[in-house]
Amino acid sequence: MSLRDWPIKQKLTAMLLLISGLVLLLTSAAFVTYQVVAFRQTTLKNLATLGRVIAANSTASLAFANQADAREILSALKAEPHVVAAALYDKDGRLFSRYPADLPRDSLSAAPARDGYRFEQGHVIGVEAVAEVGSTRLGTLYLRSDMKAVSRTLWLSAGIAAGVMAISLLAAYLLAAVLQGWISQPILTLAETATAISTRQDYSVRAPKLGEDELGTLTDAFNQMLDRIGDQNRALKASEEELRRYAGELEQRVAERTHELEERNEALRRNAAELAASNTELDAFAYSVSHDLRAPLRSIDGFSQVLLEDYAARLDEAGRDSLQRVRAATQRMGTLIDDLLKLARVTRAEMRTEAVDLSGMAQDIAAELQRTTPARQVEFAIAPGLGARGDPRLLRVALDNLLRNSWKYTAKQAQPRIEFASIQVNGTRAFMVRDNGAGFDMKYADKLFGVFQRLHSASEFEGTGVGLATVRRIITRHGGRTWAEGAVGQGATFYFTL
């Protein structure tokens, strides 16, 4: 495990131990050094004192060259066990006496070294001049002391230092173990709280505050952050909930709408099928009407005419009149059937959309009307250049019906006028056919376009009431609209859009 990954407790403990260990080490080193230095100086001073005493005592033996005396004096050194060797040299530098007596000569230098006390080759060396007070030099004293005392002192101090260090470190460790808690405990608590939150997703947990220091501030900040996260979480959950509700509603609405659409589609399919069926039926019906309904009429009319021709002499005026009425009715019925068939044809006919010149068409129809009834003088005002897209044949039927309608209802007008133009109605272009004919009561405007709906009697104006129904059917098939405006005696205007 890398140092970086140590738990904070261990880091703190180690840090404290390291610091106190270093301090102790330096202190101990200073202590031991001081001990050793002080002891060496004491040793030197003691040896010098000893040297001066012995040198003073040796003056007589050297002045008189009394070796036995000298030996005795030196042997007094037995009291100082650390003095391992001593020697006296006479004034000529020759070895005079030595201690201990059995000391081999070669362990001593042949001539005395220079005066003074010093450390030399692991020993303390002392060289003292032997002289009478205020007189000439009599010889030299040499002392050699071992360093056992020094090293003992060294070891002792080192041992003490080590002991103190060990005890101190132990105390430091124990203290650190206890005191690091001040710092690590809040951090660990925070860490535990954070872990608990992240594992349980419970944002209601709060880290306990253990003091007012920076860690306390951190704990406060952490708790505030949790508050905010909690708030945000709640808000998030609320909006999620709302979103889910919306989604659910939306789904339901989509499902409902889909269902509705399906039902409507189904209905449409049914309608289309029904329509197709009824179209087929209508087709068959119209075909049958076209062939079969007219045949009996032809017989009625034909044999009425036979009666009128062959039996005229046997019929009185009333009889002939009756037969004429039969014929008229038959022919009206024929016209009705034909008009109905036209209406049916308009409904059944296939649509073909192309550009249609309505103005040109209106001109043609007007010319045809004039040609068939040259006696009438009708003023046509047809706006030029009117066109639209649609089925040309159907539009011609529609326009023909409208113009013919106006033609018919202006029959009793002194100065008949028929106009074909286009106007804008609510932004849409509408075409209109306007006349100054009989007009109609707006009360019945809705009835105008119904099949067999007539606002005038047959004696007033002939007609079957199919023409305008045909117009509406055609315009409706083009997706357009038809309406009419008018007033009795003031003409009528018929509008259509495409």
Partner 1 sequence: MNPGKILLVEDNPDDVALTIRALKSHNITNDVIVAQDGVQALDYLFGPDGGPGAEELPAVILLDLKLPKVNGMQVLQRIRAAERTRLLPVVILTSSDEERDVIEGYSLGANSYVRKPVDFVEFTEAARQLGLYWLLMNRAPPTPRKL
Q: How far is the CB of 325 from partner 1 (least distance, A)?
A: 14
Per rule CB under 8 A, is residue 299 in the interface with partner 1? Answer: yes
Taking CB under 8 A as the criterion, which residues in 336-365 touch partner 1? Answer: 345
Contact 402, 470 (CB under 8 A): no
Beta partners for 482? Answer: 496
The rounded distance, in Å, linking the Cα atoms of 78 and 100 is 9
> In terms of CB distance, is 52 or 477 closer to partner 1?
477
Six token digits for residue 36: 């050793």
CB of 473 to partner 1, least distance (A): 17
Token duo for residue 16: 């404290």
How far apart CA 77 and CA 82 sit, in angstroms, is: 9
Shortest distance, position 294 Cβ to partner 1, whole Å: 5
Region binding partner 1 by CB under 8 A among candidate stretches 124-132, 265-273, 293-301, 406-414: 293-301
Radius of gyration of the chain, Cα coordinates, nearest whole angstrom:
73
Q: Which of 181, 230, 334, 450 binds partner 1 (CB under 8 A)?
A: 334
Residue among 295, 313, 375, 414 that touches partner 1 (CB under 8 A): 295
Residues paired with residue 98 on neighbouring β-strands, in sequence order: 87
Q: Does 481 bind partner 1 (CB under 8 A)?
A: no
Considering only residues 292, 316, 317, 354, which one is a binding residue for partner 1 as defined by CB under 8 A? Answer: 292
User: By CB under 8 A, is residue 400 in contact with partner 1?
Assistant: no
Choose among 145, 142, 74, 73: nearest CA to 110.
142
Considering beta carbons, is residue 280 or 331 the nearer one to partner 1? 331
Nearest Cα residue to 254 out of 107, 141, 246: 246
315 part of the interface to partner 1, by CB under 8 A: no
Verify binding: residue 291, partner 1, rule CB under 8 A: yes
Ordered alpha helix ranges (H), 289-350: 294-310, 317-348
Task: Using the rule CB under 8 A, give the single segment among 127-135, 138-146, 202-210, 299-307 that binds partner 1.
Answer: 299-307
Residues in Cβ contact with 332 at an 8 Å cutoff, skipping those fewer than 6 apart: 458, 464
Instruction: Taking each helix axis as running N to C, give the angle between helix 67-75 and helix 8-63, from 0 to 180 degrees, rounded to the nearest 10.
Output: 160
- The DSSP letter of residue 111 is S
Among 88-96, 103-111, 199-207, 304-312, which window interacts with partner 1 (CB under 8 A)? 304-312
Site string for partner 1, 270-289 (x = CB under 8 A): ----------------xx--
Strand partners, 382: 420
Residue 488 structure tokens: 């009795």
Q: Which residues pair with 390 in a beta bridge?
A: 354
Which residue lies nearer to partner 1 by CB, 110 or 276?
276
Extract the tokens encoding 389: 């897209």
Q: Residue 306, interface with partner 1 (CB under 8 A)?
A: yes
Give yes or no for residue 304 binding partner 1 (CB under 8 A). Answer: yes
Other residues' Cβ atoms within 10 Å of the Cβ of residue 4: 6
- Give the residue, chosen from 48, 56, 315, 333, that forms a contact with partner 1 under the rule CB under 8 A: 333
Q: Which residues bind partner 1 (CB under 8 A)?
A: 286-287, 290-292, 294-299, 301-306, 327, 330-331, 333-334, 345
